[in-house]
Chains A and B, each alone.
Chain A
């Protein structure tokens, strides 16, 4: 049961604080945000949606950190190839 989609919180439904309007690529949907009641949640936040419920708040910082690490993989490889080229670094294989 893994299909979960990231969506952006647009607004809360008046009178029902556990329901939020969440947008995915321009499509709006009412999502139950009761599972996130212990955290601050507001318009502009991104959440992970599964069967009509928000399961988790998406951390922009963690996503950025992850992208940074992925970018670095390429740089690491390049650096290692250079070192191998100088022939005084450890053979990468």
Chain B
């Protein structure tokens, strides 16, 4: 596959890993956070941690939009799903996320009309072909996905569709990064910056990280060579005492972002005064809601959502893993009470969740090797 395979070239991967080894000064411990869940997934999937020297540590950030959604919002969505005459639609990632009374799939097994879609436009089409029902689209995602929802809402308005609404849970990445930087728990040297969010917002919004906090940030692609090259660029900045925003993913990310996407966001959404994030608490101006002109397509205004705050089970340490304070296996429930088949929190079930990635690519292998009593040869 073009633009994929060449960035998995084993020889070049080896070379990039060697360069990282060369640049990492012995006696110094580097703590680099990859913000985006997609990067966390790629790091585990491609075994990149194993290629790094001991003193380069990757810390997993909160860039998983399913993971940061508090359980109460999932419950709100499922309350909509239980309403008669409603078809609840969501991406595949959401289907196994635990709500208080079970996941969407479990609600579906009990008779709720829940359908998986690949695009918000699918949900729109469903509404057009089911005039007797109301289709709710459970919108999640950062700025990568929000423009798609925006364009879909513009189309819904253009069509004058009466039986379609969006339950909006879009969140924005910058406040999350700021919360990490402001947190006393965290001591970080640099960031691997979100790749696809940046296709929309560009690279400028990250300047405060380099200028105000003095940390390098390199916007990165998702193939092994992308991530390794970004780490090379970060280590070079640190070695040279620079703190800048750099764009490793230049083949896809425009420095100024995507203007039509930003315009669509501006037209359809406004910022909520505050929004609760799992692990990071209430953050102001960090989430989107539909503007008044789009009230007719806003599920929260068409229907009553319970709006109950639900805290995670006491023993679950989702918040700390999301902030990067704990690594997934350090959570007391990891691998025992909380597994992909019986998840306690979203991090174990979202394909971008740090716990799920660690479980599938590291834990299972380690467990199997430990049982064998020998290392994989």
Q: Are A55 and B196 in contact (CB under 8 A)?
A: yes
Partner of B145, one of A36, A38, A51, A70: A51
Q: Beyond A50-B148, A52-B121, is A1–B18 a contact (Cβ under 8 Å)?
A: no
Write the residues of chain A forming the contact surface with B, with a CB cutoff of 8 angstroms: 1-4, 6, 8, 24-25, 32, 34-38, 46, 48, 50-53, 55-56, 58-60, 62-63, 65-67, 69-71, 73-74, 76-77, 80, 92-93
Partner of B15, one of A4, A52, A77: A77
Q: Are A51 and B91 in contact (CB under 8 A)?
A: yes
Partner of B19, one of A46, A65, A73: A73
- B250 at the A interface (CB under 8 A): yes
**Which of chain A's residues has its CB closest to B225's CB?**
A70
Q: Which 3 A-B pairs have the closest CB atoms?
A: A2-B38, A52-B119, A1-B141
Q: How far is the CA of A56 from the CA of B251 in the complex (A)?
A: 9
Q: How far is the CA of A49 from the CA of B259 in the complex (A)?
A: 17
Q: Are A34 and B118 in contact (CB under 8 A)?
A: no
Partner of A1, one of B12, B65, B222, B259: B65
Q: How far is the CA of A87 from the CA of B65 in the complex (A)?
A: 52
**Which of chain B's residues has its CB closest to A60's CB?**
B251
**Residues of chain A with a CB closer than 8 A to B3's CB:** 6, 46, 58, 63
Q: How far is the CA of A24 from the CA of B1 in the complex (A)?
A: 8
B38-65, CB under 8 A of A: which get 1 and which 0? 1101000000000000000000000001
Give the interface residue-count category, chain B: 35 or more
Q: How far is the CA of A80 from the CA of B6 in the complex (A)?
A: 25
Q: Are B122 and A25 in contact (CB under 8 A)?
A: no
Q: Beyond A2-B37, A77-B22, is A51–B251 a contact (Cβ under 8 Å)?
A: no
Q: Are A35 and B122 in contact (CB under 8 A)?
A: no
* Chain B nearest CB, measured from A14 CB (Å): 18
Q: Are A56 and B252 in contact (CB under 8 A)?
A: yes
Q: How far is the CA of A21 from the CA of B192 in the complex (A)?
A: 33
B113-124, CB under 8 A of A: which get 1 and which 0? 000001111100
Beta-carbon contacts under 8 Å, B120-141 to A: 120-122, 140-141
Q: Are B65 and A55 in contact (CB under 8 A)?
A: no
Q: Are B196 and A4 in contact (CB under 8 A)?
A: yes
- B322 at the A interface (CB under 8 A): no
**Which of chain B's residues has its CB closest to A65's CB?**
B250
- B147 at the A interface (CB under 8 A): yes
Q: How far is the CA of A65 from the CA of B248 in the complex (A)?
A: 11
Partner of A53, one of B36, B119, B195: B119
Q: Are B145 and A73 in contact (CB under 8 A)?
A: no
Q: How far is the CA of A60 from the CA of B152 in the complex (A)?
A: 30
- B261 at the A interface (CB under 8 A): yes
**Residues of chain B with a CB closer than 8 A to A63's CB:** 3, 251
Q: Are B119 and A35 in contact (CB under 8 A)?
A: no
Q: Are A66 and B250 in contact (CB under 8 A)?
A: yes
- B258 at the A interface (CB under 8 A): yes
Q: Are A73 and B144 in contact (CB under 8 A)?
A: no
Q: Are B144 and A55 in contact (CB under 8 A)?
A: yes
**Residues of chain A with a CB closer than 8 A to B251's CB:** 58-60, 62-63, 66
